[in-house]
Amino acid sequence: STVWHSFQTLVREMRDMVSRTAQSYLMSQLRDLSVGIWLADGSTVAMPQGLLCQFIGTKHAINAVKEYFGEDLHPGDVILTNDPYHGGNTHLPDWGFIRPIFYKGELLFFTLVRGHQQDTGGAFPGGYFPNSYDIHAEGLRIPPTKVFEKDLERKDIMRLIWTNVRWPEAVRVDNYAMVATTRFAEKRMHEVLDRYGKDTVM
């Protein structure tokens, strides 16, 4: 029960952290975001209250990450995806930052922060395009893509992505808030594992 409530407390802290540090109205005020913890096989461990459509399908996003990268996942990696067809996502404005969490060299968990961006490119500003003739008119499609690799930011990839949205500086700030929250979650998870041991936690 203590371990379980540790996870529940963590995800509530994650949700609050994003809403305090993100700059967009969508995430800071409307809380159009989701966070959580999943096992390495995609099974759900902990989710706070939020938008069900964003996090119920996260198992599909985790499976897509594992399919794309296989054994090429390492501590410090962060994977971004928003593609409904090749990333287990909801719709293009919901960008999900996924971090694999390793403990003593073993992949045990994934954590996710997913949030609705102010803009994702496409034919019109914003995120809803009822008159779009196909998904490409809705915005930039991002299959599972490493944006941090072993704790090093892939600045060329991030620059490419931000160049294709209308408010790159605002999106950049929100993205860093989301990535930092996954790092915070990893730190807290390690503290729980150190305190109670892997066998008890699992």
Percent of the chain whose pLDDT exceeds 90:
69
pTM score, whole prediction = 0.94
What pLDDT, in 10s, does the model give residues 123-150? Answer: 888 766 666 778 888 899 999 999 999 9
DSSP state for residue 66 in the 8-state scheme: H
From the list 21, 65, 19, the residue with the least C-alpha distance to 42 is 65
User: Taking the chain, what is the end-to-end CA distance rounded to the nearest angstrom?
Assistant: 12
Q: Are 127 and 82 within 8 A, CB to CB?
A: no
What pLDDT, in 10s, does the model give residues 81-121? Answer: 999 998 778 889 999 999 999 999 999 999 999 999 999 98
DSSP state for residue 12 in the 8-state scheme: H
